[in-house]
């Protein structure tokens, strides 16, 4: 569960509720099922047209993925890589076979498996880089769905408002009904803005940032694996890989290593 997505979306809707309550407080005014259907339904329709089949038919997985935080354990992974490096120097690369089962991260696991299988370094790097590119591309496909909500939400909001306005203007015989009709017409624009700005755009950005983080994380693993395969000094490997760590993680890592060494 990604706590920031949860907090952000709940807080965003909370602001709406507060906004309504601080005004007339009449919630019923803001609930209009047909408006909801047009705006959300329309946005989803065009999102279906715009996105890949596997995203469309796997939409539940995509949404679940959006609220799940990927596991990125810089400190633990770096420590494991250092220990693997030491072990490989002492007992040979094949000795790592015994450790494959304890690795959680599938990317890490695959890379170690390839090392144990005796894959050539260049082939290993090539394969694992394609893995990174494909994983990033898959996340970008998921991001694209939320981008669609960000684009088509307001678009269908405006379409709904135009439909409402045209109907209202066509039958302008009753000036008294003007205000309320226009209020209803504007609700689709409101829904579209909410869909885009509380869900679509921010979630799409979050996914893009996660993909970037995962790419760095996997690149660190890949450099570590290649270093292990080349039989480099574990201290050099450690120093090299620490460059990939965000500053907070670096402090944490050093504290842990300090603690372990004491």
Residues in 143-202 that interact with its own copies by CB under 8 A: 144, 148, 151-152, 155-156, 158-160, 162-172, 178-180, 182-183, 186-187, 189-190, 193-194, 196-198, 201-202
The residue (of 93 and 238) whose beta carbon lies closer to its own copies is 238
The residue (of 91 and 212) whose beta carbon lies closer to its own copies is 212
- Whether 236 and 227 have beta carbons less than 8 Å apart is answered as yes
Window 1-30: residues binding its own copies (CB under 8 A):
2-5, 7-9, 11-12, 14-16, 18-20, 22-24, 26, 29-30
Helix, strand and coil content of the chain, in percent to the nearest 5, comes to 85, 0, 15
**Closest distance between its own copies and the C-beta of residue 90, in Å?**
22
| Dihedrals phi, psi of 60, to nearest 5 degrees | -60, -45
The residue (of 116 and 216) whose beta carbon lies closer to its own copies is 216
Cα dist from 20 to 17, 95, 157, 176, whole Å: 5, 64, 19, 24
Q: Based on the shown chain and the rule CB under 8 A, indicate whether residue 104 belongs to the binding site for its own copies.
A: no
DSSP state of 53: H
Of the candidate spans 75-83, 92-100, 208-216, 254-262, the one that interacts with its own copies by CB under 8 A turns out to be 208-216
Cα dist from 30 to 154, 198, 232, whole Å: 17, 17, 65
Window 31-50: residues binding its own copies (CB under 8 A):
34, 37-38, 41-42, 44-50
């Amino acid at each position: 569960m990604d706590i920031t997505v949860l907090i952000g979306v709940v807080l965003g809707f909370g602001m709406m509720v507060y906004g309504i309550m601080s005004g007339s407080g009449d919630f019923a005014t803001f609930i209009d099922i047909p408006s909801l259907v047009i705006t959300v339904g329309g946005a989803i329709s065009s999102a279906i047209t715009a996105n890949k089949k596997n995203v469309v038919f796997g939409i539940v997985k995509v949404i679940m993925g959006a609220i799940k935080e990927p596991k990125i354990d810089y400190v633990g992974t770096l420590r494991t890589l250092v220990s693997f490096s030491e072990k490989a120097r002492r007992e040979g690369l094949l000795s790592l076979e015994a450790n494959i089962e304890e690795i959680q991260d599938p990317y890490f696991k695959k890379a170690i498996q390839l090392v144990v299988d005796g894959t050539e370094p260049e082939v290993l790097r090539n394969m694992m880089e394609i893995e990174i590119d494909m994983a990033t591309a898959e996340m970008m496909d998921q991001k694209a769905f939320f981008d669609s909500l960000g684009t088509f939400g307001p678009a269908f909001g405006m379409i709904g408002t135009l439909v409402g306005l045209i109907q209202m203007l066509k039958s302008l015989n009753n000036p008294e009904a003007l205000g309320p009709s226009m209020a209803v017409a504007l609700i689709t624009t409101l829904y579209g803005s909410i869909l885009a700005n509380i869900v679509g755009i921010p979630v799409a950005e979050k996914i893009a940032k996660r993909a970037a983080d995962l790419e760095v994380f996997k690149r660190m693993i890949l450099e570590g694996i290649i270093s292990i395969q080349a039989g480099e000094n574990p201290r050099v490997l450690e120093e090299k890989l620490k460059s990939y760590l965000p500053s907070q993680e670096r402090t944490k890592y050093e504290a842990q290593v300090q603690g372990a060494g004491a």
